[in-house]
Amino acid sequence: MLAVISTDPGRGNLRAFIRMAQEEFETICVWVVENEALAAALERYGFTPETEIAFDGVPVHGYRWDR
C-alpha cells in the first residue's frame, strides 16, 4: 500500500508521480479515492473506473490504468 500526500498542492506533483509510475509499471490500481478532484485527475491521466471483489466478498471501487 502506498499513500501520496502533496505538501505543495497545485504544482503538478501528483501528475509527475503518476507519470513516473506509468513508465515503471504495466498496471496501476488506486483503491482509495478520498475526493472528486482526485477521481477527475485519474480519469484525465487515463485511469478507468474499476470494481474488484475483496477476499470477504465486498466490492471495492477504484481506478485502474493498464499500459
pLDDT at 35: 86
Nearest in space to 60 (alpha carbons), one of 40, 34, 38, 32: 32
pLDDT at 40: 95
2-56 tens-digit pLDDT: 777 778 878 888 899 999 999 999 999 999 898 898 999 999 999 999 999 999 9
| List of E strands, the chain | 27-30, 48-53, 59-66
Buried b (16+ CB within 10 A) or exposed e, 29-38: ebeebeeeee
pLDDT at 58: 95
pLDDT at 30: 94
Amino acid identity, residue 30?
Answer: V
Q: pTM for this structure?
A: 0.83
Strands 27-30 and 48-53: unpaired
